[in-house]
Structure 1
Amino acid sequence: AVDVIIVARGGGSLEDLWAFNDERVARAIAASRVPVICGVGHETDFSLADFAADVRAPTPSAAAELVVPDHTELRAQVVGLSAALATTLHRSIQERSWNLARQTQTLKHLSPAVQLAQARQRVDDLLVRAEASLRHDLLLRREQVSGLNGRLAGVSPLGTLERGYAIVRQRETRKVVHSVKQVAPGDVLEVRVADGDFEAQVQSKQ
């Protein structure tokens, strides 16, 4: 099978190239089912065959280069295509790896074992927070109790006695003596101090 037809002739006079202006040649080229490249004469030479052909080359050698590309250029194209293919494959593999990693991570989160571990961790966190809150509340309660104890000690009869005061009662009536008007000479009184009780007798009053 023929892939391409080259109609070519080297440079020459107008008479030498006139055959390519023949109508029969031009019609034959136009009717060809196989692609035709025409390279007749020099770059400045034109003929009917040039216009009837599928491609016009300026010279016969240029026509040959169109059919058979330069080896170096062809190799460069192959290298470029290979590099582009490698880049595309690398990118595709990388994207698939990322997708696989994301799907694997998603499956791990959906795993019952992972969910159970996460639930346990949440429970542990709640227990730690609850314990810290209880300790804080207990410390506040202790401080409040300590403050109340201090206030109670300030108003407690025992606290008053420890500061040097005494509670005096009439022995017979057990009433607390608030005024000298409540006693008379000879009355026996019960006196309570911080470390115990004793009796005293009124000798006189002023």
Structure 2
Amino acid sequence: MTTSDFFSNPAASGFPERQVMSVSQLNRRAKQLLETHLPLLWVEGELSNVSVPSSGHWYFTLKDSEAQVRCAMFRNRNMMVKFRPQQGQHVLIRARVSLYEGRGDYQIIAEHMEEAGAGALQRAFDELKAKLAHEGLFDEQYKKQIPLLPKHIAVITSPTGAAIRDILNVLERRFPAIPVTILPVAVQGKEAAPQIVRALELANRANLFDVIILGRGGGSLEDLWPFNEETVARAIFASNLPVVSAVGHEVDFTIADFVADLRAPTPSAAAELVTPDGEDWLDKFIGFEVLLEEALRRKLDHWQQKIQWLRSRLRHPKDKLEQQSQRCDALEMRLKNAIQKSLTQAQNQLNTLMLRQKAQHPQTRLLQLTHRFQLARQQLIKAQSNILIQKNQRFNEAVRMLNTLSPLNTLERGFALVTQDNGEKPVTASNQVKPGEKIKAKLAKGELLCSVEKILT
């Protein structure tokens, strides 16, 4: 067989016949293989290249430190996601593997998305914090006072952790006389929150304690999560006993810290806050002892002086009887004076009534009214005379003013009232008449009929 026969007839060489596929067929076959052989799976990674076109679909890249894969989440699925994807966000998605035939790109189609790891926990923390703050669980008005000297302390924590050792060491050092009861609970894991709630309820029902320390050592957000549970927060808020929260280190904050009546940065600090310093109290007791001795001494001196003063005032009974007798005499004199004063007042009242009765006698009343009538008559006559005088004065004044303003007085001084011949229209200007026209001139006594000879301007 020649070389040309080999290439012209592959079947003759023992190889199967070639099956040529188009690019579209290849991509479609690859897509079928990926979608049928790989079921739904969970993928975790960091978001990048997030794109949200007008269609409402989400396109993004999911990557880790070594690889990346293109992803798509269609609108009917991403509408159920409770957050908006952000660049660099760590997420967990449930997806199916597929292939975009148009570009031949391998991709995954997301069916569900949620925040992964600490991101989801932090979001849950922020949402619960906002919810409880809105309800008022963090308000200062609900914070209970921590007792200055508690009689019994309840500690809710793990019995084997470092936190309980720190708390007990501080309590032993500061005030070992205060009894302490440990209510052991798990401080991480699923069982921790229910145990903490039961311990808080038990401490309140026991009627033994004055204050509760709730705490644990440091850890990650996941480790401290039981202290961010809503049930724990509400149990702390419902506690009748003041609760001191001491969870984690100084930089760690939990929901329990915000709800508690007092937040301590560490378990050791919590023990410091709920107990007084024994040495300080011992110094205070010594000082109080000195003050008490001084007060007792001053009190004894005071009573000794008072006894001496009372002894000096102690008198014979005869003196007391003489004083009482003298007091009786004084009272007798006061009684006589009071009776005499009362009789005098009664006599004065009687005289006053007799005078008033005399004043109301008809004859006396008639004389009073006659006098008042004569007085009123004289006042009326005098008033009429005054009015006539005033009226006469006003009349004479008016006549005088009328004469002063009368045109007849003006005529008496040599002036004349010139009118036209008919006597109706007065002539006040030379241009009102013409030469030869007749005019009248009224004088103080009589009238003149004149003829105009010449008009002088």
- The TM-score normalised by the length of structure 1 is 0.45
Considering fraction of residues, name the structure with more helix. 1
Relative contact order (C-alpha < 8 Å, sep 6+): which is higher?
1
- The TM-score normalised by the length of structure 2 is 0.22
